[in-house]
Amino acid sequence: MQTIAHWLDGKAFAGTGGTTAPVTNPATGVVTGEVTLANVADTRAAIDSAAKAFPAWRDTSLTRRTQILFRFRELLNERKEELARLITAEHGKVLADAIGEVSRGLEVVEFACGIPHLLQGGYTENASTKVDIFSIRQPLGPVAIISPFNFPAMVPMWFFPIAIAAGNTVVLKPSEKDPSPSLWLARLWAEAELPAGVFTVVQGDQVAVDELLDNPVVKAVSFVGSTPIARYVYQRGTAAGKRVQALGGAKNHMVVLPDADLDLAADAAVNAGFGSAGERCMAISVVVAVGGAADELVGKIAERAATIKTGDGTRGADMGPLVTRAHRDHVADYIAAGESAGATVILDGRGVEADGATDGFWLGPTILDNVATDMSVYTDEIFGPVLSVVRVDTYDDALALINANPYGNGTALFTNDGGAARRFHNEVEVGMVGINVPIPVPMSYYSFGGWKNSLFGDAHAHGADGVRFFTRTKAVTTRWLDPSHGGLNLGFPQNR
């Protein structure tokens, strides 16, 4: 059984904390390792390492920084299947999905390779008589990333390529459920010749998180996770004077109008609802069937979902297990609660026959029809392979339903009516919108982030927002005169 620890000063670090947590293969139920959980001293050592490395990295030329980033990009692209296998072994998602995760993270690395032009300042000559003004963008210092279990590679890569390219140093605190990908990435950075201390990994739980939030050396925190924890991170981090971007939970609706291509919509609902066993913050968890589309649409979704092969992600299955046994049972409890509350169980995944070990954390695709908005399967973020169908009469009813929801991460509309589509993306109160696209995750050069309880803070992930988040502007006013003095003048300076 392997022991998974930290990465400090460019090498593995065992730490001084004696507490560990099990790491399990969700497809077998077998404990494959133990992750060492950092105590306060370990976390401070990681922060101090990042702080020590910052001045030299800040002063490293943009050319050199991007050369290292390019090298990291090439190594990651060559070995992404190796990282994908590691993700599957600890998270459980199928290999094809894991490769897709790494590939989307790689897009942000590629975006960061072109960061020099985004770090340009401005210059005004002779703004006042013989006075020039210029602005520059500078890094913040050591920054922290607290990432979730569902995307152990992609979510950290939303943040650290931009942070590092901009001249910051990074302390990554990954989920203790699947900690190995973070160390794999750290070794890859070392191979790309990133200086020691620029990228540090500290494994841990709330002890490590709280130190990252409280420690004044850490200048900014990027977080992705559930809404209650995102709110906690934002409040505690900002109280300590830090910049914080905390991406929270979701309840993503897919509206299907009667004029939509129902085969396209059904494919999209199944792909977006059951990919990665529903453990995505951008998963479609609610299909809003408008008017007469409902019966035929539900039938098409059920027909497709019944063909999904659930099993071990290394065996060619379509959908893998859930991340832990406790989470599997929790999701199953939601299905029972929905059924008890009056929802119609169209497809029940609780008794699925999976292609995998008996002790795997299996739950098959589940469809609940006639779901009401006061049921827990609608109000709560389930984070599992459960698709709820809500029926409404009109477009206006569907829009009101989404806008009344406390979450605002992603949404989609399926229609062939361009006017309805334009009205929808203008009126819906959600941060990311898809038109005939079920999972509207933006490209890396746009920013990822929701509205309402899906985001705490002003900055979204990656894109231009990411560059702004990891830098701050400095305005410099200069005057170079002939060797003479202008005399005393205590009045407020005026531009002339």
> Are 472 and 427 a contacting pair, CB within 8 Å?
no
Quote the CA–CA distance of 358 and 30 in Å, as a whole number.
11
Which one from 140, 163, 224, 281 is the annotated catalytic residue?
Answer: 281
**What ranges make up the beta strands (E) of 89-167?**
122-128, 131-139, 142-146
- CA angle 266-267-272, nearest 5°? 100
Task: State the residue for tokens 């520059």.
Answer: 136
Per-residue tokens: 160: 């650290």
Quote the CA–CA distance of 97 and 313 in Å, as a whole number.
9
Pairing type for strands 6-8 and 11-13 reads antiparallel
Cα-Cα end-to-end distance for the chain = 73
User: In degrees to the nearest 10, what's the CA dihedral of 96, 98, 101, 102?
Assistant: -100
* Cβ-based burial of 134 (10 A; exposed 0-12, middle 13-18, buried ≥19): middle
Helix (H) or strand (E) holding 367: strand 366-369
- Alpha helix segments (H runs only) across 59-139: 62-78, 80-91, 95-113
Q: What is the DSSP letter of 283?
A: -
Give 125's contacts (C-beta < 8 A, 6+ positions apart).
Answer: 132
Helix (H) or strand (E) holding 7: strand 6-8
Quote the CA–CA distance of 407 and 282 in Å, as a whole number.
12
- The answer for 197, left when phi > 0, alpha when psi is -120 to 50, beta otherwise, is left
β-strand partners of 3: 34
Active site residue 281: yes
Give 133's contacts (C-beta < 8 A, 6+ positions apart).
Answer: 123, 124, 127, 475, 476, 477, 478
Per-residue tokens: 303: 């027909």
User: In degrees to the nearest 10, what's the CA dihedral of 82, 85, 86, 87?
Assistant: 120
Quote the CA–CA distance of 96 and 360 in Å, as a whole number.
19
Q: What is the DSSP letter of 194?
A: P
β-strand partners of 144: 171, 221
What type of residue is 374? D
Q: What is the DSSP letter of 355?
A: B
Catalytic residue numbers?
281
